[in-house]
Chains A and B, each alone.
Chain A
């Protein structure tokens, strides 16, 4: 029974030591997530080594805190910093930034924090309810079905994330190649190791993730650093008023409803639900004139969607062992680091551990609500760190994390080589997430494909033998062809950047109209 299991999880998580680790994770996650240029995936990758020395339960509890903390931190950055940031929080930034400039920064931070809490709590509850049921279905899933699921995840990740499917596919190929390097699990043969003994164990996922996210980002930002002093907007005004609350609670719930299902779906990601949530709130609001000038609904909805999808992503990860976002891929790597393989058997073999993890998601979420608003002064100080020191510091921690894995300087050279790859990918507009997902999911797909074909004695029809794999492969085909057809039929859907531009233009028009009036009256 899910409820009693969950209560058992709470009993494990609410020991003083584990509460301390949850607190530590939440603080570290928020502090790192707040830093500009560092998204949730990089936060998790950079802080992974800090959990290595702990035993699995404490480590995963700390990890849960880091994961949710990183999400919270990102929203603070996007509200208080005067520059556009990463794609998942760009919708929050749209209105949040305007609110902060209009002296309502505190209200924006509050609706984001409470909305994240509400969405996180509901979505985590849904996770706890859905997971056991899904595991019962998943336990009958064959190796061929698994292969189909992996293919769906590949296609969806490559074509949905990012604006250009071909570039997503290119990034996926790079990840699949990196996943091939090393010793083949099933036959024990070395592949593509170039005769370098250290490569026979494969390329460490942590090294790849830190390289592509942290080193690649540092190099990219260094190549185009925004000069001049850092502008952080003051958080002024009261926290939420009754009116703010009245206008926020429906967007919170609607945002959650958008975010969770998209997180559960392979390659849902947070970008689409935040976008949908923003568009919905703009349509439903009673204050349409405020949109583009700091409407609180436009912060509440997307922020809730963002956090709900973060919890949704854990559903396929914990029940099927399939990561659907870059952050989930790194969490999967963390599991593997502790010798745990997520999949349908996880809930039976490691039940207490999983329930302790889910319980600590609730606890971390509550801690964040309590800590975040009072500590906002501290987060603002972090936002003001001079950029030369910030990026030098990111490289320092990248070095620490990668060197600590094997204590081998060669790992650092690989780190830089892959970092340069990440730098090039950012310049070309190749999304980084498919590479990380390809790296971790590629070997899973290969193993299941070969097991399936070994059982069928090489008969390819085994791949479409069950209804499950037929439906999933059909969906994969749809995800591959669908966007191309849709684009041909009714043109491109606007990207977040375009929505933002549209709003700037609206404002421009309004200002022009304003100056026109003024001109006429003078």
Chain B
């Protein structure tokens, strides 16, 4: 029971958030744009010649129309100052400013690991991703601070790989070293 916790609980309401530009407007417009794309592209779906009255185009038209309408209405609501309640979570600090650097690092690290899996194997690729993400979230971005996360990630990656590949027969590239070391069982 402390003061900090009280203030978190009382400052959460959406009403007290700034009324400036909201990224949600972009989201609503993009949703409407998605609807337009569905409406336009649905016309290009080939209809096999049959007597069937409702073909593969009907549902895309319906979803497209719904998306345009929802996106437009939502955009209007956002312009009028309506804001959705941002998601709560145990580890989420609702008052913290958005840490865009963390989002960027995670995104880049995740794409890099996706491309590396077939080159260096899943355990090493995942260890590098793990190290990048954990080091960023720690807030200390020095090479020394990345050693422990990397070792933890490598251990997790290797253990998971051995369980899933050797015991459960899931196809997962292990990389030359690990596959050689475990080739005997």
Contact = CB atoms under 8 A, between A and B. Distances in A.
Q: Which 9 A-B residue pairs are closest in the complex by CB-CB distance?
A: A429-B84, A458-B53, A412-B114, A36-B90, A388-B137, A426-B87, A392-B133, A388-B134, A428-B24
Contacts of B147: none
Nearest to B161: A400
Interface stretch (A218-226, A247-255, A307-315, A353-361): A218-226
Nearest to A82: B5
A4 interface: no
Interface string A85-121: 1110010000000000100000000000000000000
6 contacts: A220-B87, A220-B89, A387-B91, A395-B106, A413-B114, A416-B110
A170 B71 contact: yes
Interface in A310-330: none
B92 A392 contact: no
Interface string A425-444: 11111100000000000100
Contacts of B6: 504, 508
B162 interface: no
Interface of A: 36-37, 49-50, 52-53, 77, 81-87, 90, 101, 163-164, 166-167, 169-170, 173-174, 176-177, 180, 184, 186-192, 215, 217-227, 387-393, 395-397, 399-400, 403-404, 407, 409, 412-413, 415-416, 419-420, 423-430, 442, 446, 449-450, 453-454, 457-458, 495, 497-498, 500-501, 504-505, 508
A189 to B, nearest CB: 5
A407 B164 CA distance: 13
Contact of A392 (B9, B66, B153, B172): B153
A262 to B, nearest CB: 21
A424 B170 contact: no
A424 B27 contact: yes
Given A222-B106, A223-B98, A224-B96, A450 B12 contact: no
Given A192-B38, A224-B99, A449-B54, A393 B85 contact: no
B84, B103, B138: which has the most chain A beta carbons within 10 Å?
A: B84
Nearest to A188: B48
Interface string B17-30: 00000111001100
B48 A189 contact: yes
Interface of B: 1, 5-6, 9-10, 12-14, 22-24, 27-28, 31, 34-35, 38, 41-42, 45-48, 52-56, 58-60, 63, 66-67, 70-71, 73-74, 77, 82-94, 96, 98-100, 102-103, 106-107, 110-111, 113-115, 117-118, 122, 126, 129-131, 133-139, 149, 152-153, 156-157, 160, 164, 168-172
Chain A interface mostly helix, strand, loop or mixed?
helix
B22 to A, nearest CB: 8
B102 A180 contact: no
A412 B96 contact: no
A224 B6 CA distance: 19
A255 B53 CA distance: 49
A404, A498, A500: which has the most chain B beta carbons within 10 Å?
A: A404
A458 B103 contact: no
B165 to A, nearest CB: 10
B149 A427 contact: no
A309 to B, nearest CB: 20
B70 A169 contact: yes
A85 B89 contact: yes
A85 B93 contact: no
Contacts of A391: 133-134, 137
B93 A501 contact: no
A331 to B, nearest CB: 21
A37, A393, A457: which has the most chain B beta carbons within 10 Å?
A: A393
B107 A416 contact: yes
B99 A395 contact: no
Given A388-B137, A409-B117, A219 B48 contact: no
Contacts of B23: 424, 427-428
A439 to B, nearest CB: 12
Contacts of A227: 93, 96, 139
A510 to B, nearest CB: 13
Given A170-B70, A176-B63, A400-B164, A497 B12 contact: yes
A449 B53 CA distance: 11
Contact of A226 (B13, B96, B126, B131): B96
B91 A221 contact: yes
A144 to B, nearest CB: 12
A52, A81, A187, A454: which has the most chain B beta carbons within 10 Å?
A: A187
A53 B58 CA distance: 38
Nearest to A414: B114
B141 to A, nearest CB: 12
B13 A396 contact: no
A73 to B, nearest CB: 12
B135 A53 contact: no
A4 B98 CA distance: 57
A160 B9 CA distance: 25
A495 B88 CA distance: 13
Contacts of A399: 110, 113-114, 122, 126, 129
Contacts of B89: 36-37, 85-86, 217, 220-221
A409 B86 contact: no
B70 A166 contact: yes
B155 to A, nearest CB: 11
Given A403-B172, A429-B84, A222 B103 contact: yes
Contacts of A222: 99, 102-103, 106, 133, 136-137
B137 to A, nearest CB: 4
A225 B87 CA distance: 13
B130 A393 contact: yes
A415 B111 CA distance: 10
Contacts of A423: 103
Contacts of A390: 91
A458 B55 CA distance: 10
B90 A392 contact: no
Contact of B74 (A87, A166, A501): A166
A419 B122 CA distance: 20
Nearest to A168: B70
A77 B89 CA distance: 11
